[in-house]
């Protein structure tokens, strides 16, 4: 029993780390621009498909394929920002939501045409192997995904804290007007934040593809989880996203282990409702 709980908690933490890599960008983009990038998970999923093609055609390891998918996601992100996002910045939130929802559907169509609706999975040689430590089994892919995610999220946190651009991003998140008055080029900051967000989504998507089978419509399921994490953790805080992602990962894993596995898909929504009910600013957020 104890071993089962321990196993479930560890599995949840490992998956939570990867969730965090995907969600952190969503949180930053919302923090800086006050738009909800509903196409976030679709971009992440597209990068899983890029990794799939790199793996099956070129024999490239999925983690190594980030060399291709990160630039690809930055290109898409840059075009998205110029063509779709900037024109609607500062407008009513519904407009940007609709525009990005349309773009998410467009990306789903691209994935359907490019890779068909069949479920795909990334299966490098180590995909079914695992390490056993005492009673707990660590899946190699999960460990790898978790480690890579920690690097990305940690690197991002350091960047936001130490670099000038990072501080400018945080300043813009706190108060755009004040940042502008202090000489921060908020337009440029928005662009950088958007690219950072999209780039980290690429990492998260590829790593999640390493663990889960994926198909084009899956981004809708993913984006639901990401919303839950961002709301749970409080918007605009890297630590909050980490906490939210870990809570979701562990809650899902425990639910699937001790209740019928089909219930796990509901966990994100239950957590979302509970957070909005009891602590609308999130675990780490300040009340507005």
Partner 1 sequence: MKMKGCLLALFAFAFGAGALAGPAGAQSLGKTEIVFGGAVSLTGPAAFDGVYYKKGYELWVEQANKRGGILGAQVKLILYDDKSSPSEAVSRYEKLITVDKVDFLLGPWTSGITAPVAAVAQKYAKLFVEGGGCAEPIFQRGNKWIFNTMTAVDHQHSRNLFEWIQSLPADRRPKTATLTYHNSLWAQGCAKGVRAQAQEAGVQLLLDEAYSPTMSDATPLVSKIKAASPDMILNCGYLSDGVLIVRTLKELKVNAKVVWMSDGPPNPAWGATLGELANYTLGTTHWEPGVPYTGAKELTALYKEKFNEEIYDKVAVAWASLQVYEQAIKGVKSLDQEKIRDYIRTNTFDLVVGPTRFADNGMPTISTLLDVQWVDGKRVVVWPKKDRVLNKSIEGKEIVFPKPAR
Site for partner 1, rule CB under 8 A: 4, 7-8, 11, 112, 116-119, 121, 123, 127-130, 132, 137, 139, 211-215, 218, 221, 253, 256-257, 260-262, 264-265
Distance of closest approach, residue 184 Cβ to partner 1, in angstroms: 41
In the complex with partner 1, which residue's Cβ is closer, 128 or 273? 128
Distance (Å, whole) CA 34 – CA 116: 34
Distance (Å, whole) CA 277 – CA 285: 14
Here the tokens at position 215 are: 């198909």
Characterize 154-176 residue by residue with b for buried, 16 or more Cβ atoms within 10 angstroms of its Cβ, and e for exposed. Answer: eebbeebeeeebbebbbbbbeeb
In the complex with partner 1, which residue's Cβ is closer, 246 or 275? 246
Query: Which helix or strand (DSSP H or E) is residue 149 part of?
Result: helix 140-162
Distance of closest approach, residue 29 Cβ to partner 1, in angstroms: 25
Report yes or no: 50 and 72 within 8 Å, Cβ to Cβ. yes
Distance (Å, whole) CA 140 – CA 100: 35
Distance (Å, whole) CA 17 – CA 3: 21
Contacts of 143 (CB under 8 A, 6+ apart): 14, 131
In the complex with partner 1, which residue's Cβ is closer, 180 or 264? 264
Distance of closest approach, residue 110 Cβ to partner 1, in angstroms: 15
In the complex with partner 1, which residue's Cβ is closer, 83 or 112? 112
Distance of closest approach, residue 205 Cβ to partner 1, in angstroms: 13
In the complex with partner 1, which residue's Cβ is closer, 121 or 174? 121
Query: Which helix or strand (DSSP H or E) is residue 231 part of?
Result: helix 218-233
Distance of closest approach, residue 10 Cβ to partner 1, in angstroms: 11
- DSSP code for 278: H
Distance of closest approach, residue 260 Cβ to partner 1, in angstroms: 6
In the complex with partner 1, which residue's Cβ is closer, 123 or 165? 123
């Amino acid at each position: 029993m104890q071993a089962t709980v321990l196993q479930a908690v560890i599995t949840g933490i490992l998956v939570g780390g990867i969730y965090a890599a995907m969600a952190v960008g969503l949180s930053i983009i919302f923090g800086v621009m006050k738009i909800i990038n509903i196409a976030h998970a679709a971009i992440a999923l597209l990068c899983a498909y890029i990794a799939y093609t790199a793996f099956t055609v070129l024999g490239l390891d999925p983690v190594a394929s980030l060399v291709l998918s990160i630039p690809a996601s930055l290109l898409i992100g840059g075009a998205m920002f110029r063509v779709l996002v900037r024109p609607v910045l500062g407008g009513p939130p519904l407009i940007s939501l609709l525009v990005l929802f349309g773009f998410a559907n467009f990306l789903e169509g691209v994935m359907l045409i490019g890779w068909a609706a069949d479920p795909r999975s990334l299966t490098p040689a180590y995909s079914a192997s695992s390490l056993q430590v005492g009673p707990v089994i660590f899946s190699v892919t999960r460990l790898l995904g978790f480690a890579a995610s920690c690097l990305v999220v940690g690197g991002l946190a350091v960047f936001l804290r130490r670099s000038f651009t990072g501080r400018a991003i945080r300043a813009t998140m706190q108060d755009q007007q004040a940042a502008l008055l202090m000489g921060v080029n908020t337009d440029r900051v928005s662009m950088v934040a958007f690219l950072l967000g999209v780039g980290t989504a690429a990492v998260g998507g590829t790593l999640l593809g390493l663990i889960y089978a994926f198909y084009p419509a899956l981004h809708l399921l993913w984006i639901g989880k990401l919303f839950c994490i961002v709301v749970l953790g409080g918007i605009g805080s890297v630590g909050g996203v980490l906490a939210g992602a870990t809570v979701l990962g562990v809650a899902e894993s425990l639910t699937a282990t001790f209740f019928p596995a089909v219930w796990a898909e509901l966990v994100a929504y239950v957590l979302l409702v509970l957070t909005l009910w009891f602590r609308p600013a999130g675990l780490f957020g300040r009340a507005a």
